[in-house]
Structure 1
Amino acid sequence: MRLRRPRRPREFRPADSAQQIVGGFLLAGPFVVTEEVWDLAGNMSVLQALATIAVVSAIGYGALYTADTTRDPDAEQEVAGVPIRFISLLCVAFGSVLILALLFDAPDTFLDGTTTAERALTTFKAVSVGSVFSIVGAATADSVFSK
């Protein structure tokens, strides 16, 4: 007899994104306004930022579908084979960090004296760093509040 993972009956809803947003913003805030994050991002290579994005994606997928055994990615709505819940989670994780960085004017504050291109690149890298924490909050809120 083969054990099957129990499936959640409801589909992904806008309320699920709202829960992710709350968790994502909650954990993103402290890292957006920390000078050390911006210094770290300034010293990272693009390859390291891309690797960080891969780690963020793995954390998010693991939190949604491995840590929460009641979810089945094959049973969820998909876009191009990717579950919508996971796409939403990534958008929230990266988007919340970027929005807060821009709202708080962090690039201008921490990157004074740099060119526009340098600010954009460092902001990209800082968002990759901040999203490590944001995705944990977003995935946790999604899992906890969707039950």
Structure 2
Amino acid sequence: MRLRRPGRPRRFRLADSAQQVVGGFLLAGPFVVTEEVWALAKNMRLVQAFATVAVVFAIGYATLYKADTKRDSDEEQTVVGIPVRFLSLMAVSFGSVTILAVLFGAPATFVNAGGDTAELARITFNAISIGSIFSVVGAATADSVFSR
């Protein structure tokens, strides 16, 4: 058992990101390949997609720093004042959905944009924002449950 000096926050490590990745991919997968998600994304307005992104940020922050009483965002490593753990969580949450969507060819499968690249990008962005809600829950939960 390794002892830490009191009052010193635990450093964010690669293992922490790995835990986030596992949780993020685990919950993102089913939503990337669900036709209903892509139908919702097709009918969403851009303002709804950005509101969904804001929800992802709020869920992530609340799960990391409000639900987990062992963590304090003010004591963690930061980049331009933002905790590295939170930045990693957002990258994993949006990144896992994006990677899975591209790997599975989901936009081409579920979106008939008629060659309109901007429409395909809009719907894909919307779908990623939807899938990220579930991904952030998995990533943040894994980070909190498996942290030492």
TM-score of the two chains, using structure 1 as the length reference = 0.93
1:26-66 Cα shifts (integer Å, max 9, x gaps): 00000000000000001000000000000110000000000
* 1:112, distance to aligned residue in structure 2 (A): 2.6
Which SS does the other structure have where 2:12 is aligned?
coil
Name the amino acid aligned to 2:109.
T
Q: Which residue does the alignment assign to 1:3?
A: none
Asked if the contact 1:7/1:70 (under 8 Å) is kept, the reply is no
Question: In structure 2, what is the Cα distance between the partners aligned to 1:104 and 1:14?
Answer: 26
User: Structure 1 107/8 Cα, relative in aligned 2: closer, same or farther at 3 Å?
Assistant: farther
Which SS does the other structure have where 1:126 is aligned?
A: helix
Hey, what does 1:134 align to over in structure 2? 135
AA matched with 2:87: I
Separation in structure 2 between the aligned mates of residue 67 and residue 8 of structure 1, nearest angstrom:
20
Q: Which runs of 5+ in 1 are unaligned?
A: 1-5
Q: Against the structure 1 CA distance between its residues 8 and 73, is the aligned structure 2 distance closer, same or farther, given a 3 Å change threshold?
A: same
Which AA in structure 2 matches 1:49? Answer: A
Instruction: Describe the shift of the 1:43–1:7 C-alpha distance in structure 2 as closer, same or farther (beyond 3 A).
Output: farther
Equivalent residues, number: 142
Structure 1 residues 111 and 72, CA gap change in structure 2 (3 angstroms)? same
Stretches of structure 2 that go unaligned for 5 or more consecutive residues are 1-5
Asked if the contact 2:113–2:119 (Cα under 8 Å) also holds between the matched residues in 1, the reply is no
SS at match of 1:68: coil
Structure 1 residue 8: deviation in Å?
A: 6.9
Percent sequence identity over aligned pairs:
69
Distance 1:48 1:40 in 2: 11
- 2-side partners of 1:41 and 1:11: how far apart? 38
TM superposition shift of 1:86: 0.2
**1:1-147 correspondence to structure 2 within 5 Å:** 9-114=9-114, 115-147=116-148
What is the CA distance between 1:122 and its match in structure 2? 0.5
Q: Runs of at least 4 residues of structure 1 off by over 2 A?
A: 6-9
- Contact kept? 1:8, 1:70, Cα under 8 Å: no
| TM-score normalised according to structure 2 size | 0.92
Shift of 1:113: 4.2
Which segment is superposed worse, 117-126 or 21-30? 117-126
Q: Give the 3-state SS of the residue equivalent to 2:135 in structure 1.
A: helix
